[in-house]
Structure formats: structure tokens, C-alpha cells
Amino acid sequence: MKPFDQLVSSYMTANVISVERGTPIRDVAQLLGRNLVSAVPVCEDGAVVGVISRTDLIREGLLHTGARLASSSIAFPAKDADDLMSPRPLVVASSTHLREAAALMRDRKVHRVFVVDGPHLTGVLSAHDLARAVRDARVELPLSSVMSAPLVTVDSHAPISAATEKLADAHVSGVVVTDEGWPVGMFTQVEVLASRELPRGTRVDEVLDPSMVCLPDELPIHRAAATAFELGARRVIACRNRDAVGIVTGMDFVKIVATAA
């Protein structure tokens, strides 16, 4: 069997959390935060009719908040899932090969595909699941060959409003928080939504996620994937001589699976 010839069904996550069309987007945001997922499908009669991601919520919140002198860094309008969802979510059959699904994710620049049996939702395959596949395949590529560089960073003393805008401007889902140049945590879309009720001037170091993985950039990617999967980390910081030189994200694991020979 060639690398990543396994079927999607062997790595997908079943029992997918979903919402209905009329779910308020405030409730969608709470659901994402509570379950630590990056997107949820919008379903009608068991069929997937749309998808809402953290990116969608943050973009909508920033547009609604604008330049108002509000107490919160993001304010949501009174809209439902039906108003905000992307109506053509990426779906695959459970018999699809991992490599094919990963290629679709890479081409569409998304971090998950929903798995269907006919019209009905049966699972989801995420970049996190593909990290497990990279671990199992024992891919020997070094981190340095797959990492993204340079890092997008924000100072730990910066306000969360500035960090949120940097996420949006850089089109990334997370930035590395630094203190005197050294990585001390991550500020991601998870923290954006979790801190949306806080004053805009709240410092990043009050809300950052300190759990991060820093590994040597010459380490084989399968070892990084194993560490990331076991710790539930979505990103790995690649370091060289104690300097942070790059980052490996879920999309990098997607690309590895998609391009395997």
C-alpha cells in the first residue's frame, strides 16, 4: 500500500458536533470554544448544508465592531447560522483515500472535510487527524523542510485588539506571542473568541495559551506529529540554537499527506 492510501473512514472523527440553520452565531461561538473545534457543519434533516468556522465568526465580529469604542474586542450582530454559513462545504465519501481528501483540503485551503454517506453526515476528517496519519507513516522529512517562515509574532504586552487585527491581516489562525523575542505562548482564534467580552486594551499575556511545543528544526516530522497529537497541540514551533525559526501548522500536515509519492 502506498503512503496514505488508507480510507478516510480509518482516520475520521465520528459523532460530529453540528448546528441547525437557526442557531444564533453567539451560540455557535460558544460551541466552538467549549469543544475546541475550528468549525461546525450546519445541518438540515441530517444533511450538511453549510459550514461556519472561527474565521467566519471573527471576520463578522470585526466588521460589526468596526471602530466603535466598545468594551469588548469583538461584538457579534444578531444573526443566525443561516446568515453566516458558507453554503458549499467540502464533503467526501468515507471510501475516499486520505491522500485525495488531503489534496482537496490543500487546494481549498481548509482544515477539514466532512464525511458523508449519501446526503447524511457521518464524520469529519481534520488536519489534526492527518497529523496522526503522518505519525503512523513515520515520515522522515525534517521540520525545516515543511515549516512556514518567518513567524508571525505579537509582543506579550500588546492589547488583544491589536493581536486580533494581526491575525486577520496576516490571514493566519494563530500568532506566536513573544517576550523579549522568545516564544512564550500562542494567541489563536480560540483566544480571540474566548476573550471577546474583555476590554480591547487587555494585554495578550493575560489571555494567551501557554501550552506550546518547541522542537529542533532537524527533528523528523513524524516525531513532531506524534508530540503534537498526544499533547493536542495545533502548532509546533521549530527552533534552531534556541531561536524560533519557523512554525508547523495543521495545513503543513495536510500538504505532506496530499503530496506523498
Which neighbouring-strand residues pair with 240?
243
The CATH architecture of the domain made up of 8-137 is Roll (3.10)
Task: For the chain, give every residue range classified as CATH 3.10.580.10.
Answer: 8-137, 143-258
CB atoms under 10 Å from CB of 219, counted, come to 16
Q: Which three cell numbers stand for residue 39?
A: 468549525
> Can you give the pLDDT at residue 165?
87
Q: How far apart are the first and last CA of the chain?
A: 11
> Can you give the pLDDT at residue 69?
41
Q: What are phi and psi of 7, to 5 degrees?
A: -80, 150
CB atoms under 10 Å from CB of 249, counted, come to 21
- Which one, of 34, 26, 18, lies nearest residue 80 by Cα? 26
> Can you give the pLDDT at residue 82?
93
CA distance 104 to 12: 15
> Can you give the pLDDT at residue 66?
61
Q: Which three cell numbers stand for residue 8?
A: 478516510
* Mean pLDDT, each 10-residue run in order, the chain (261 residues): 89 93 93 90 92 90 61 75 92 95 95 92 94 95 93 94 88 90 89 85 92 91 90 87 88 94 67
Q: Is 43 helix (H, G, I), strand (E, B) or coil?
A: strand
> Can you give the pLDDT at residue 72?
56
The CATH architecture of the domain made up of 143-258 is Roll (3.10)
Q: What is the pTM of this model?
A: 0.86
Provide CB contacts within 8 A for 230, sequence distance 6+. Answer: none
The answer to whether 39 and 53 are in contact (CB under 8 A) is: yes
